[in-house]
Amino acid sequence: METHQALERLSTLPLVAALDPDAWAAVAGAVSSVRYEPGQLIVQQGEPADSLLLVVSGEIAILQDRRLTRLAPAPCVLGLQSLLQEGDRTASLEAATVVELLVLPRAVCCSSTVSSRVLPPAC
């Protein structure tokens, strides 16, 4: 799926809807699109949080200490808490179905072009 189409599908999320044209361009130019098959690990609990995950389609299993805590269906944003706290991932994420997501690097999330428009001032 093309990046702009994926961002359009996510436009109902407040984080994406808040993007002005400059921030939209910064995000669109920096995200990478990734596809995961059911059962594939997306991030591991305890890893450094280096990106924000924008889930375009599919459903993600959120696991803490290897136990399923909930399922997160698309569209959704995952990883914001760890990213803002500059900490480690607080949960593992695994594809429950085929998942398409956009990965936004921390550097872009916390750039003045993006963070001042959509993120709390913790970055």
Number of domains the chain contains:
1
Q: Determine, yes or no, domain membership for 35.
A: yes
pTM value?
0.80
Question: SS3 letters for the chain?
Answer: CCHHHHHHHCCCCHHHHCCCHHHHHHHHHHCEEEEECCCCEEECCCCECCEEEEEEECEEEEEECCEEEEEEECCEEECHHHHHCCCECCCEEEECCCEEEEEEEHHHHCCHHHHHHHCCCCC
25-29, 44-48, 91-95, 117-121: least confidently modelled range: 117-121
Q: Determine, yes or no, domain membership for 123.
A: no
Q: Determine, yes or no, domain membership for 68.
A: yes
Q: For residue 91, what are the domain limits?
A: 3-117
Which position has the higher pLDDT, 104 or 34? 34
Q: Which CATH number does the domain housing residue 21 bear?
A: 2.60.120.10
26-61 confidence digits (pLDDT tens): 777 888 889 999 999 999 999 999 988 989 899 999
Q: Determine, yes or no, domain membership for 122.
A: no
